[in-house]
Amino acid sequence: MTSQRRFGALRKLPSGRWQARYWSPGGSRITADRTFATKTEASLFLEQVEVDQRRGIWHDPAAARSTSVRDWTWRWFDQHAASLRTSTVDSYRGLLETCVLDRTVMGKPVGLGDLGLSDLTPMRVGEWLAQLQRDGLSASRVRQAYRVLSLALDAAVRERLLTSNPCGRHHRLPRLPDTEPTILTIADVENLVAHLRDGARPRGKDRSSAQPVPPNPPLALLVEMLAYGGLRIGEARALRRRHVDVLGCRLIVAESLTEVDGKFTFGPTKNHQVRDVPLPRPAPGAHPAPGRARRAYDRRAGVHRTHGRAAPLHQRAPQLRRRVPTRRPGEGDAALAAGLVCLVGG
């Protein structure tokens, strides 16, 4: 028995349940992916579909059924990766390959890659999340995998493949462990810098397997930049001659150097902003003469030239020494502590 309506049609099945059918904006006939216990429920479903089509937010359920989570996720990843840093792209790819799409626990596949988008319900996502935790993944790794999946499904909602994201407030993510960061004092930093600059003998009761610390002035300078300049390790390794303004007594932090699979890649800083780090003012008469400015600039920047171009700081540099300020860090203000790093050629 078929019921005629202004929008769509209802049909009572031999089982006693009701089936709803309607037309898409493109002219194709669509049968609802579920049946209804009563005629009223089926009518309410058709009314909601009609409203969604009029508002322009209706989505075709057939597209979600024919698109797998794997196909859609890699499509989203290829489009999204163009605006991400190299390290982030590598992290997302690893999470998708090992946690989201393909994962097996005790011979049982728990990955979501072979499911259709329409089959991805909050319950199914919750089961996948629980399997990751039972498999012993760290809380940080589980939360990262969940976030990547949620980002991909957000894009599916925007493309009207899904009405809502099955990731959301439905799930309780594992809590990150509370850890106390190790804060180095100024004395700790100075002691570490002295050992790296001058070298140190093995210490402790058992010295049979201990190795002495050879002098490494460039590494000592790097530690000072990280401790007193507030630079991230990638930002410090990306410093080149043009980033060191000796006459202006400042460092220009504009890039970050990332290593992925043994390859170094220059990219923007973490917050995609350029900032200046002040250096201590040199003594009177320490500025190079105009004719020697370029050579002095290179020496003070702590870089060497390879075929006429300044190499970044992460490559081998000449021996460096530091200019000791008139006051030790901690005896002055924060600006003095941040400006302890002074790149002066040896």
Cα 235–Cα 236–Cα 242 angle in degrees, nearest 5: 90
Residues 130-165 pLDDT 10s: 989 988 889 999 999 999 999 999 999 888 888 788
Residue 109 and residue 155 in contact, taking contact as beta carbons nearer than 8 Å: no
CA 17/CA 4 separation, integer angstroms: 17
Residue pair 125/171 in contact by the 8 Å Cβ criterion? yes
Give the C-alpha separation, 207 to 211, whole Å.
8
Bridge partners, residue 12, by sequence: 18
pLDDT score of 237: 85
pLDDT along the chain (346 residues), means of 10: 71 90 81 87 87 78 80 92 85 92 76 87 91 90 94 89 83 86 85 85 64 82 82 86 82 85 81 82 44 43 41 42 34 32 33
Q: What is the pTM of this model?
A: 0.60
Residue 277: HSE in the Cβ half-sphere, 13 Å Cα cutoff = 26
Element (H, E) at 341: none
Integer Cα distance of 196 and 216 in angstroms:
5
Q: Boundaries of CATH 3.30.730 in the chain?
A: 2-58
Q: Which amino acid is at 1?
A: M
CATH 1.10.150.130 domain residues, the chain: 65-158
- The pairs formed by 23-32 with CB atoms below 8 angstroms and a separation of 24 or more are 24/58, 24/60, 25/53, 25/58, 30/60, 30/61, 30/62
| pLDDT of 295 | 47
Alpha helices in the chain (DSSP H): 39-55, 61-66, 69-80, 86-95, 122-134, 139-158, 186-198, 217-229, 233-237, 293-301, 334-338
Kindly give, in sequence order, each residue whose CB lies less than 8 Å from that of residue 27, ignoring residues fewer than 6 positions away.
none
Report pLDDT digits (tens) over 267-299: 888 888 888 888 765 444 444 444 444 444 444
Report, at the CATH architecture level, how domain 2-58 is classified.
2-Layer Sandwich (3.30)
Instruction: For 314-335, give the secondary structure using H, E and C.
Output: CCCCCCEEECCCCCCCCCCCHH
> Which candidate, 292, 308, 220, places its Cα nearest to that of 300?
292
Assigned token pair, 140: 């940080």
How is the beta sheet containing 18-23 ordered, strand by strand?
2-4, 9-12, 18-23, 29-31
What would the CATH number be for the domain defined by 65-158? 1.10.150.130
Q: Which of 257, 198, 230, 253 lies closest to 337, judged by CA?
A: 230
DSSP state at residue 311? P
What pLDDT, on a 0 to 100 scale, did the predictor assign at position 82? 84
CB atoms under 10 Å from CB of 189, counted, come to 18
- Residue count (the chain): 346
Beta bridge partners of residue 18, listed in sequence order: 12, 36
The pLDDT score that the predictor gives to residue 292 is 43
